[in-house]
């Protein structure tokens, strides 16, 4: 016998439609990457970066890194991607193994 038969129509809808969709969304969320995004560090390392980016899967820098040493510190922390900013010369960003979208 169908046990859902004894549930009210509203509860049946929740069990049959809403609950499976919610579980599907939860699974999708678990599979999503968490990206830490920052820009304009201008060569400055803040010790809070380690705390802020701890839950992230990757760190993306949107330009103006400022130094190769800073890019190396981010790379050591998490997988790191970056683009050029107007203060960056070719060398700091070209040393990054996985740049974002630029050759």
Total count of domains within the chain: 2
In this structure, the answer to whether residues 26 and 66 fall within a common structural domain is: no
Domain hosting residue 61, numbered range? 33-103
One domain, residues 5 and 50: no
Same domain, 41 and 28: no
pLDDT in tens, the chain (103 residues): 455 456 566 666 666 777 777 777 777 766 778 899 999 999 999 999 999 999 999 999 888 888 888 888 998 999 988 887 888 776 555 555 555 554 4
In a shared domain, residues 66 and 97? yes
pTM as predicted: 0.63
Task: Spell out the residues 6+ positions from residue 73 whose beta carbon is closer than 8 angstroms to its own.
Answer: 45
């Amino acid at each position: 016998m169908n046990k859902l038969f004894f549930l009210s129509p509203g509860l049946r809808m929740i069990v049959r439609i809403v609950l499976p969709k919610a579980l599907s969304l939860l699974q999708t969320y678990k599979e999503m990457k968490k990206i830490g995004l920052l820009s304009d560090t201008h060569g400055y390392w803040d010790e809070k970066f380690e705390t802020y980016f701890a839950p992230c899967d990757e760190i993306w820098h949107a330009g103006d890194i400022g130094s190769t040493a800073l890019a190396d510190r981010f790379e050591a922390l998490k997988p790191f991607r970056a683009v050029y900013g107007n203060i960056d010369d070719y060398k700091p960003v070209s040393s990054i193994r996985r740049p974002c979208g630029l050759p």
